[in-house]
Structure 1
Amino acid sequence: MAVSAPDPREVRTASVEEMRRLRLPLPPSHFPLVWEPGDEVELRPTAEIEARAAILHVVLARCFGMPAQAAMSWLLGSHLVDLVTPPEWQFVMGGRGDHRSFVLHHDAVYALAWLLGLSKHLDPEQPADDRLIELLPNLPAGETFLQWRSRSLAAPRSPVEAAAVLDFYYCLDWGYLEAERIGAPLPGLIDANAIGQRRWALEWAVMFRGPYHDPPAGWEEVDLST
Structure 2
Amino acid sequence: MLVAAPDPREVREASLDELSRLRLPLPPTQFPLVWEPGDEIELRPTVEIEARIAVLHLILARCFGMPAQTAMSWLLDSHLVDMVTPPEWQFVVGGKGDHRSFVLHHDALFSLSWVLGLSKQLDPTIPVDERLVERMPYLAGGETFGQWRARILAAPQHPADAAALLDLHYCLDWAYLEVEKSGQRLPGLVDANAIGQRRWALEWAVMLRGPYHDEPPGWEEVDLST
- TM bucket normalised to smaller: over 0.9
Q: Cα distance, 1:202 vs. partner?
A: 0.1
Aligned residues: 226
The runs of 4+ residues in structure 1 deviating greater than 4 Å are none
Aligned partner of 2:28 in structure 1 is 28
1:128-151 deviation line (CA, Å, top 9, x unaligned): 111110010000000000000000
1:60-93 deviation line (CA, Å, top 9, x unaligned): 0000000000000000000000110000000000
Aligned counterparts of 2:178 and 2:76: Cα–Cα separation in 1: 42
State the secondary structure of the residue aligned to 2:72.
helix
Structure 1 gap ranges (5+): none
Aligned partner of 1:77 in structure 2 is 77
Aligned partner of 1:199 in structure 2 is 199
Aligned counterparts of 1:29 and 1:132: Cα–Cα separation in 2: 37
Q: Cα distance, 1:183 vs. partner?
A: 1.1
Aligned partner of 1:89 in structure 2 is 89
Aligned partner of 1:117 in structure 2 is 117
State the secondary structure of the residue aligned to 1:220.
helix
Aligned partner of 1:58 in structure 2 is 58
Q: Cα distance, 1:56 vs. partner?
A: 0.4
AA paired with 2:181?
A: R
Aligned partner of 1:164 in structure 2 is 164
Aligned counterparts of 1:118 and 1:60: Cα–Cα separation in 2: 18
State the secondary structure of the residue aligned to 1:97.
coil
Aligned partner of 2:188 in structure 1 is 188
TM-score (norm 2): 1.00
Structure 2 gap ranges (5+): none
RMSD: 0.4
Q: Cα distance, 1:184 vs. partner?
A: 1.4
AA paired with 2:215?
A: P
Question: Are 2:36 and 1:39 equivalent residues in the alignment?
Answer: no
State the secondary structure of the residue aligned to 2:130.
coil
1:147-168 deviation line (CA, Å, top 9, x unaligned): 0000000000000000000000
Q: Cα distance, 1:38 vs. partner?
A: 0.3
Aligned partner of 1:49 in structure 2 is 49
Q: Cα distance, 1:206 vs. partner?
A: 0.1
Aligned partner of 2:222 in structure 1 is 222
Aligned partner of 1:150 in structure 2 is 150
Percentage of pairs with the same residue: 75
Aligned counterparts of 2:185 and 2:41: Cα–Cα separation in 1: 34
State the secondary structure of the residue aligned to 1:137.
coil
